[in-house]
Amino acid sequence: MSTIIMAACWPLQGMSPAQKAVLISLADQANDDGVCWPSVNTIGLRTCLSERAVQAALKWLEEQGALLRDHRSQRSTMYTVTPQALVGEITRTVHYVYRITHTPSGQFYIGLRTCGGDPLEDSSYFGSGVSAEWLAKRKADCVKEIVASFEHRHQAAQFETAEIALAIQNPRCLNRKVSAPGSATHGRHVVADPADAAPAAPAPANGAPHPAASAPSTPQHLHLDGAASAPGTINEPSVEPSREPLPAAAPPVAAKGRADKAKGGEAEETALQAACRATWAAYAEAYGARYGARPVRNAQVNAKVKQFVQRIGYDEAPAVAKFYVERVADAYVTRECHPVGTLLQKAEGYRTQWAAGHAMTSTRARQMDQSQANFDAAEEAMAILRQRRGELEGGSNA
């Protein structure tokens, strides 16, 4: 059953009860693409209609464009329910992952949204919950970016989970914490509150040490097992995010060293994220210009892009990815529509071709091989001539 198709069918008017019953029956059995294949007898049993009445309703729905029929030999007919045709326009349901960034503070939030039509026209949506309300109040200082869009929600949910897993290393990410083991939300991403540290209690008047000073702090562990490919359920915090985190006590020397190292790792991860985004943007732009369609992006593709950037370098990776789509014309690569996997597999070779300014096709390789063979043959002939000339000069001197 597809709730999307059902929701689009229920409000429709201008048809008989029998036609509406048949349409709802098909929508109830259809998937999110509107496809199902029940027999006429099954539709009749579900709607309490005769076979003749079902056939008449199917014919009318097909004539109105609300139904497409694919008559298959020796198999039941396949139906595609398209209720949008009855309302005068076709609105495509899109599931997209968005990123909202508060420019002054650098804090950002990643979420998932389902809308009908173009996601770019859904700019007023800022999510739900405390963090979203905090960002919405500062809408003038925020930038909303559509990271990726999908036809199916489970694909968008998988991508959202992978995107959050990559972004949680950044302390400015409002999705950066994950629930602890044993909790009801274990394995799910939880929206972080930058000011979630509890205010320090006042020190005792008698000068005794603070009770919390000697107690070891419990670190926040990130638990991603079991949720890497599952849709992320986002739990909003109950405290409004704050720009200024509470000051912490000065750490010991060893702890400070570890903190500096972790800070350096966060900066490195941030630079890597920026390079991955730039590389994907260059690849997707060239891909769309060449094929007229957006490339598929999922967790597996993200991992390959990250490996490619690490192998080639942050600065050169975007240009090499663009060169790969625009200039590489090998038969296999073109037939497979320039997959990211091939770009990663031959990363260093494509980088060399990019630096040289030309792509190495099989025809060019054969030409270069033939040229080298001709050159070798000429060198061999010249060596033979020099040898004979030396022999003749030696004989004349004698």
Q: Which tens digits make up the pLDDT trace of 334-380?
A: 888 999 989 998 899 889 888 887 665 556 656 666 767 777 777 88
Phi first, then psi, for residue 69 (nearest 5°) are -115, 130
In the structure encoding, which two tokens stand for residue 90, read together? 């076709």
Structure confidence at residue 231 (pLDDT): 39
Please say whether the beta carbons of 319 and 275 come within 8 A. no
Domain boundaries along the sequence of the chain: 3-87, 93-195+221-243, 269-356, 371-398
Q: In which residue are the tokens 């040898």 written?
A: 387
For the chain, state the CA radius of gyration.
Answer: 32
Structure confidence at residue 45 (pLDDT): 94
Q: Give the Cβ contact number of residue 151 at 10 Å.
A: 12
The edge-to-edge listing of strands for the beta sheet with 108-116 is 108-116, 93-102, 142-150
Structure confidence at residue 266 (pLDDT): 55
Q: Which tens digits make up the pLDDT trace of 223-273?
A: 333 333 333 333 444 344 444 444 444 444 444 455 555 555 556 567 888
What is the share, in percent, of the chain residues with pLDDT greater than 70? Answer: 68
Residue 83 to residue 95: CA distance in whole angstroms: 19
Residue 40 to residue 128: CA distance in whole angstroms: 44
Structure confidence at residue 4 (pLDDT): 80
In 3-state terms, the chain is what percent helix, strand and coil (to 5)?
50, 10, 40
**How is domain 3-87 classified at the architecture level of CATH?**
Orthogonal Bundle (1.10)
| Predicted structure pTM score | 0.33
Question: What residue ranges of the chain have pLDDT lower than 50?
Answer: 88-91, 178-256
